[in-house]
Amino acid sequence: MKTLLVEVWKRLTPWSKSADVYANDIDNGYPERMDRLINNSVTAKSAAIIMVQYLIGKGYGPEADSAIINRQKNLKLIDFADDVADDLVKQRGVFIHINYNALYQVADMSVLPFEWCRIGKKDSTDYAGKIAVCKEWLKPKRSDIELIDVYNPRKKVIDAQVAAAGGWEHYKGQVLYINMDSKLIYPLAV
Protein backbone atom coordinates (compact mmCIF):
# COMPACT_ATOMS: atom_id res chain seq x y z
CA MET A 1 0.00 0.00 0.00
CA LYS A 2 1.39 3.35 -1.02
CA THR A 3 0.73 6.46 1.05
CA LEU A 4 1.05 9.96 -0.33
CA LEU A 5 1.97 12.86 1.86
CA VAL A 6 -0.17 15.83 0.87
CA GLU A 7 1.61 19.13 1.09
CA VAL A 8 -0.13 21.26 3.69
CA TRP A 9 0.56 24.95 3.78
CA LYS A 10 -0.67 27.81 5.85
CA ARG A 11 -2.83 30.34 4.05
CA LEU A 12 -1.16 33.73 4.56
CA THR A 13 -2.63 37.23 4.42
CA PRO A 14 0.34 39.51 3.79
CA TRP A 15 0.09 43.23 3.15
CA SER A 16 0.12 43.94 -0.59
CA LYS A 17 1.93 47.25 -1.15
CA SER A 18 1.01 47.37 -4.82
CA ALA A 19 -2.74 47.19 -4.14
CA ASP A 20 -2.87 48.64 -0.58
CA VAL A 21 -4.85 45.65 0.72
CA TYR A 22 -4.39 42.54 2.79
CA ALA A 23 -3.86 39.82 0.21
CA ASN A 24 -5.92 36.66 0.51
CA ASP A 25 -2.99 34.21 0.34
CA ILE A 26 0.42 34.82 -1.22
CA ASP A 27 -0.93 35.04 -4.78
CA ASN A 28 -4.19 36.75 -3.68
CA GLY A 29 -6.14 33.92 -5.31
CA TYR A 30 -7.41 31.89 -2.35
CA PRO A 31 -11.16 32.55 -2.84
CA GLU A 32 -11.03 31.66 -6.55
CA ARG A 33 -8.98 28.54 -5.81
CA MET A 34 -11.46 27.35 -3.16
CA ASP A 35 -14.41 28.05 -5.46
CA ARG A 36 -12.76 26.00 -8.24
CA LEU A 37 -11.99 23.14 -5.82
CA ILE A 38 -15.62 23.02 -4.68
CA ASN A 39 -17.04 23.27 -8.21
CA ASN A 40 -14.68 20.56 -9.53
CA SER A 41 -15.70 18.07 -6.85
CA VAL A 42 -19.08 16.40 -7.31
CA THR A 43 -19.30 15.69 -3.59
CA ALA A 44 -18.28 19.18 -2.44
CA LYS A 45 -20.55 20.89 -4.96
CA SER A 46 -23.52 18.72 -3.93
CA ALA A 47 -22.82 19.39 -0.26
CA ALA A 48 -22.61 23.15 -0.92
CA ILE A 49 -25.94 23.13 -2.78
CA ILE A 50 -27.62 21.22 0.05
CA MET A 51 -26.17 23.58 2.66
CA VAL A 52 -27.33 26.69 0.75
CA GLN A 53 -30.83 25.20 0.52
CA TYR A 54 -30.69 24.43 4.25
CA LEU A 55 -29.75 28.04 5.10
CA ILE A 56 -32.51 29.51 2.93
CA GLY A 57 -35.12 27.03 4.09
CA LYS A 58 -38.47 27.52 2.41
CA GLY A 59 -37.81 31.20 1.76
CA TYR A 60 -39.70 34.05 3.40
CA GLY A 61 -43.13 33.55 1.88
CA PRO A 62 -44.47 34.48 -1.57
CA GLU A 63 -44.78 38.22 -0.88
CA ALA A 64 -41.35 38.59 0.72
CA ASP A 65 -39.59 36.33 -1.79
CA SER A 66 -40.84 38.43 -4.69
CA ALA A 67 -39.92 41.73 -2.98
CA ILE A 68 -37.37 43.70 -5.01
CA ILE A 69 -34.41 44.90 -2.91
CA ASN A 70 -32.27 46.23 -5.76
CA ARG A 71 -34.16 47.86 -8.64
CA GLN A 72 -31.05 48.41 -10.80
CA LYS A 73 -30.26 44.69 -10.83
CA ASN A 74 -33.90 43.55 -10.46
CA LEU A 75 -32.72 41.56 -7.43
CA LYS A 76 -35.39 39.84 -5.34
CA LEU A 77 -35.05 39.08 -1.64
CA ILE A 78 -34.83 35.32 -2.26
CA ASP A 79 -32.01 35.86 -4.82
CA PHE A 80 -30.18 38.07 -2.33
CA ALA A 81 -30.56 35.40 0.38
CA ASP A 82 -29.26 32.77 -2.06
CA ASP A 83 -26.19 34.91 -2.83
CA VAL A 84 -25.50 35.45 0.89
CA ALA A 85 -25.91 31.75 1.68
CA ASP A 86 -23.68 30.71 -1.25
CA ASP A 87 -20.76 32.88 -0.08
CA LEU A 88 -21.24 31.86 3.56
CA VAL A 89 -21.20 28.18 2.62
CA LYS A 90 -18.28 28.29 0.19
CA GLN A 91 -16.11 31.08 1.65
CA ARG A 92 -17.40 31.41 5.26
CA GLY A 93 -17.78 35.14 4.70
CA VAL A 94 -19.80 37.61 2.67
CA PHE A 95 -19.50 41.21 1.47
CA ILE A 96 -22.83 43.06 1.22
CA HIS A 97 -22.94 46.37 -0.69
CA ILE A 98 -25.46 48.84 0.77
CA ASN A 99 -26.53 52.08 -0.89
CA TYR A 100 -28.38 54.90 0.88
CA ASN A 101 -30.63 57.68 -0.36
CA ALA A 102 -30.45 61.31 0.80
CA LEU A 103 -32.90 60.49 3.62
CA TYR A 104 -30.32 58.03 5.06
CA GLN A 105 -32.55 55.07 4.25
CA VAL A 106 -31.22 51.90 2.63
CA ALA A 107 -31.98 52.33 -1.07
CA ASP A 108 -30.71 48.95 -2.25
CA MET A 109 -28.45 46.05 -1.36
CA SER A 110 -26.54 43.38 -3.23
CA VAL A 111 -23.86 40.79 -2.53
CA LEU A 112 -20.43 41.53 -3.94
CA PRO A 113 -18.67 38.34 -5.06
CA PHE A 114 -16.29 37.31 -2.28
CA GLU A 115 -13.51 36.87 -4.84
CA TRP A 116 -13.69 40.57 -5.74
CA CYS A 117 -13.23 42.02 -2.22
CA ARG A 118 -10.19 42.65 -0.04
CA ILE A 119 -9.70 44.46 3.27
CA GLY A 120 -8.04 47.86 3.07
CA LYS A 121 -5.40 49.47 5.24
CA LYS A 122 -5.91 49.45 9.03
CA ASP A 123 -5.34 52.54 11.16
CA SER A 124 -3.63 52.81 14.56
CA THR A 125 -6.74 51.43 16.30
CA ASP A 126 -6.70 48.31 14.06
CA TYR A 127 -9.77 49.53 12.10
CA ALA A 128 -9.95 49.05 8.34
CA GLY A 129 -12.26 51.75 6.97
CA LYS A 130 -12.30 50.67 3.32
CA ILE A 131 -13.07 47.55 1.32
CA ALA A 132 -11.20 47.29 -1.98
CA VAL A 133 -13.25 45.85 -4.84
CA CYS A 134 -11.64 44.54 -8.04
CA LYS A 135 -12.70 41.86 -10.51
CA GLU A 136 -9.14 40.55 -11.01
CA TRP A 137 -6.83 40.28 -7.98
CA LEU A 138 -4.10 38.08 -9.44
CA LYS A 139 -2.47 41.07 -11.16
CA PRO A 140 -4.65 44.09 -10.35
CA LYS A 141 -4.19 47.52 -11.87
CA ARG A 142 -4.56 50.41 -9.43
CA SER A 143 -7.14 51.98 -11.74
CA ASP A 144 -9.34 48.86 -11.52
CA ILE A 145 -9.52 48.90 -7.70
CA GLU A 146 -12.54 50.69 -6.26
CA LEU A 147 -12.48 51.65 -2.58
CA ILE A 148 -15.81 51.57 -0.74
CA ASP A 149 -16.42 52.61 2.88
CA VAL A 150 -17.01 49.97 5.55
CA TYR A 151 -20.57 49.65 6.86
CA ASN A 152 -21.56 52.14 9.53
CA PRO A 153 -25.21 53.31 9.43
CA ARG A 154 -24.76 56.32 11.74
CA LYS A 155 -25.94 59.55 10.12
CA LYS A 156 -22.77 61.47 11.10
CA VAL A 157 -20.58 58.81 9.50
CA ILE A 158 -22.63 58.74 6.28
CA ASP A 159 -22.53 62.56 6.14
CA ALA A 160 -18.73 62.52 6.43
CA GLN A 161 -18.44 59.81 3.76
CA VAL A 162 -20.78 61.67 1.38
CA ALA A 163 -18.80 64.90 1.90
CA ALA A 164 -15.50 63.09 1.27
CA ALA A 165 -16.95 61.57 -1.93
CA GLY A 166 -18.01 64.99 -3.23
CA GLY A 167 -21.76 64.61 -2.78
CA TRP A 168 -24.50 62.02 -3.07
CA GLU A 169 -24.01 61.61 -6.82
CA HIS A 170 -20.44 60.36 -6.22
CA TYR A 171 -21.11 58.38 -3.04
CA LYS A 172 -20.48 54.63 -3.50
CA GLY A 173 -22.33 53.41 -0.40
CA GLN A 174 -20.91 51.03 2.18
CA VAL A 175 -19.87 47.40 2.42
CA LEU A 176 -20.86 45.15 5.31
CA TYR A 177 -18.27 42.40 5.79
CA ILE A 178 -19.39 39.29 7.66
CA ASN A 179 -16.53 36.98 8.63
CA MET A 180 -17.31 33.58 10.17
CA ASP A 181 -13.66 33.25 11.38
CA SER A 182 -13.46 36.44 13.42
CA LYS A 183 -9.87 35.74 14.53
CA LEU A 184 -8.66 35.86 10.91
CA ILE A 185 -8.63 38.72 8.41
CA TYR A 186 -10.28 36.43 5.85
CA PRO A 187 -12.15 33.25 6.76
CA LEU A 188 -10.84 29.84 5.77
CA ALA A 189 -13.08 28.07 3.29
CA VAL A 190 -14.65 24.82 4.45
Question: Per the domain annotation, does 144 fall within a domain?
Answer: yes
Instruction: Give the C-alpha separation, 31 to 186, whole Å.
Output: 10
Q: What is the pLDDT of residue 119?
A: 95
Question: Per the domain annotation, does 132 fall within a domain?
Answer: yes
Count of domains forming the chain: 1
Question: Per the domain annotation, does 3 fall within a domain?
Answer: no
Question: Per the domain annotation, does 63 fall within a domain?
Answer: yes
Question: Per the domain annotation, does 89 fall within a domain?
Answer: yes
Range of the domain at 49: 15-179
Q: What is the pLDDT of residue 189?
A: 84
Question: Per the domain annotation, does 146 fall within a domain?
Answer: yes
Segment 125-151 shows an average pLDDT of 91
Segment 150-165 shows an average pLDDT of 95
Question: Per the domain annotation, does 8 fall within a domain?
Answer: no
| pLDDT at residue 133 is higher than 90 | yes
Q: pLDDT tens digits for 6-25? A: 554 678 888 888 888 999 99
Question: Per the domain annotation, does 19 fall within a domain?
Answer: yes
